[in-house]
Amino acid sequence: MARSVAYVSLTPSIPGPDRGGVHPPRIAFVIFDGFQSLDLAGPHEVFRRAGGYDCTVVAPVPGPVRAESGLPVHAGHGVATLPPTGIDTLVVTGGAGVYTARHDPRLTGWITAAARGARRVVSVCSGAFLLAEAGLLDGRRVTSHWARVERLAREYPAVTVQPDPIFVRDGHFWSSAGVTAGMDLALALVEEDQGQQVALEVARHLVLFLRRPGNQSQFSVGLWSMQPSSDPIRQAVAAIHADPGARHNIADLAARAGLSSRHLQRRFTAELGIPPAAYVERVRVEAAQGALENGGDPLDAIARRYGFGTAETLRRSFQRCLGVTPSDYRDRFRSTLGEHR
C-alpha cells in the first residue's frame, strides 16, 4: 500500500490590514534540506500574526523539503520559479543542512540576486553561512547560534562575528542567534515597520512573555557553564544560587566546600570552566534581571539585595555580562510586562 506523507504548508492565512490596493511587502523565507524548522516557523508566525505581509517560502526546488528534525515542509516556490526581485525582506534559515546547501550555486546565486534589491536581509542561526558564502557579509557584524559562531568566524574571516548578542543589525543586514532568537528578531522588524504596540500585541498572542533586546546575551548560567562534578564544588555552587546576595568570596566558598582557597579556585575553574568570582557575578546579574523584570524597586535596593553593593557596580556588571545598562533593561521590558498583567 502506498504510504502518504502529510507536509506542513506555510501559506498566508491571516488577513493583513487594508493597504488601499497596494500589494503588501513580500517576505521570502529560504529553506533547504536539513533546515531548522523553528528558524522558519517562529519568524513566520510573528509576521503572519502582525498582518500586512506576503510570506513566501522558497527552496532550491519547489515541493517537499525535510527539516533537520525530519518535519516535512512544503515550499511553494523554487529558485528557478520565484523571481529574486520585489522582495522586501529576505530571511535565510539555518540548520545542519546549511553546510551542504551553501555549495549549491543555484541557491547562493538566487540569494545574492534577491539580497541586491531587498530592503532587509536577515539570517537566522546558521543561515549566516549561506549569506557569508554568497559574499554578502564581508566587513559586516553578524551573530549566530553560540555553537556555530567559532566555525563561522574561522571559515569566513572577512566577517566580524559577535558571539554573544541575541541579534545584531548592521545596516540593512540583520542576523540572530539560534531557534527562538529568530522570533525576537522578527518582533524587532515588526516594531520597525508597524510600531511597538503591534509588536507587543504579537508577543502577547504568541505567549512570548518578554521581547528581548538584541544586545542581551544569548547565554545564561544554565547554558554556558559546565556542571560541577564533585560534591565540594556542588556545595559551593548550591550556596551561590541559594542566596546570590550573600558574601561569596574565595575564603567563604572554600569554607563551605571544605577546601583551601587555592584548591577551591583551581577545582572550581576546572569543573565549571569559569573562576568563582566570575560565576558569582553572573548568578547575581541573573537574579537582578528577575528583579528588574518583575518589580519597580530602585537600582540601589536591587544592588544591595544581590551583593553588588552600589548601583554603579550593578551597572558595570550588567554592561560587562549583558551589554546593556540595568535602566535600559528595565525600560525595554516594562511595557511588555504591562501587557501580560
Q: What is the set of active-site residues?
A: 125
Q: What are phi and psi of 23, to 5 degrees?
A: -65, 135
Cβ 322 vs Cβ 288: under 8 Å:
no
Q: State the DSSP H helix or E strand holding residue 248, giving kind and residue range, or none if neither.
A: none
Residue with cell 511587502: 25
CB atoms within 10 A of CB 134: 22
Closest residue by Cα to residue 329 from 282, 305, 295: 295
Closest residue by Cα to residue 166 from 87, 102, 223, 97: 223
Amino acid, single-letter form, for residue 119: R
Cβ 169 vs Cβ 191: under 8 Å:
no
Q: State the DSSP H helix or E strand holding residue 3, giving kind and residue range, or none if neither.
A: none
Residues ≥6 apart with Cβ < 8 Å to 207: none
DSSP state letter for 126: T
E-assigned strand segments in 70-166: 72-75, 77-78, 89-92, 120-124, 141-142, 160-161
- Looking at 195-257, list the stretches that DSSP marks H as alpha helix, in order from N- to C-terminal side: 196-205, 221-224, 231-242, 250-257
Can you read off the three cell numbers belonging to residue 316? 558595570
